[in-house]
Chain A
Amino acid sequence: MQIVVQEQPFDVGDRLNQFSASRTDMGAVVSFTGIVRQVDGKLSDMMIEHYPGMTEKALTSIAEDAVSRWSLGDVLVVHRYGLLAPGEVIMMVATMSRHRADAFAAADFLMDYLKSRAPFWKKERTADGNAWVAAKDEDEDALNRWQTP
Chain B
Amino acid sequence: MVNVLYFAWVRERIGLPKEQVETTAATVADLVSELKEREERYALAFSDLTALRVAVDQELTDFDAPLSGVREVAFFPPMTGG
Residues of A within 8 A of B (CB): 34, 49, 51, 53-54, 57-58, 79, 90-91, 111, 114-123, 132-135, 139-140
A121 proximity list for chain B (CB < 8 A): 7-8, 76-77, 79-80
A119 proximity list for chain B (CB < 8 A): 7, 55, 74, 76, 79, 81
Instruction: Identify the 10 closest CB pairs spanning chains A and B, nearest first.
Output: A135-B78, A118-B81, A121-B8, A54-B58, A120-B81, A115-B82, A114-B82, A114-B81, A133-B80, A122-B80
A140 proximity list for chain B (CB < 8 A): 78
Count of A-B contacts judged by CB separation below 8 Å:
69
Scoring B residues 44 to 73 as 1 if CB is less than 8 Å from chain A, else 0, what string do you get?
000000000001001110000000000000
Chain A contact residues: helix, strand, loop or mixed: mixed
Scoring B residues 14 to 51 as 1 if CB is less than 8 Å from chain A, else 0, what string do you get?
00000000000000000000000000000000000000
Say yes or no for B2: interface residue by CB 8 A criterion.
no
Nearest neighbor of A59 in chain B, beta-carbon distance: B81
Say yes or no for B5: interface residue by CB 8 A criterion.
yes
A134 proximity list for chain B (CB < 8 A): 77-78, 80
With both chains docked as a complex, state the minimum distance between the C-beta of B71 and any C-beta of chain A, in angstroms.
Answer: 11
B79 proximity list for chain A (CB < 8 A): 115-121, 135
| Cα–Cα, bound, A79→B82 (Å) | 8
| Cα–Cα, bound, A135→B53 (Å) | 12
Nearest neighbor of A112 in chain B, beta-carbon distance: B82
Given A118-B79, A120-B80, output 16 extra A-B contacts at Cβ < 8 Å. Answer: A51-B55, A51-B74, A54-B74, A79-B81, A91-B81, A111-B82, A115-B82, A117-B60, A119-B76, A119-B81, A121-B7, A121-B77, A132-B77, A134-B80, A135-B80, A139-B80
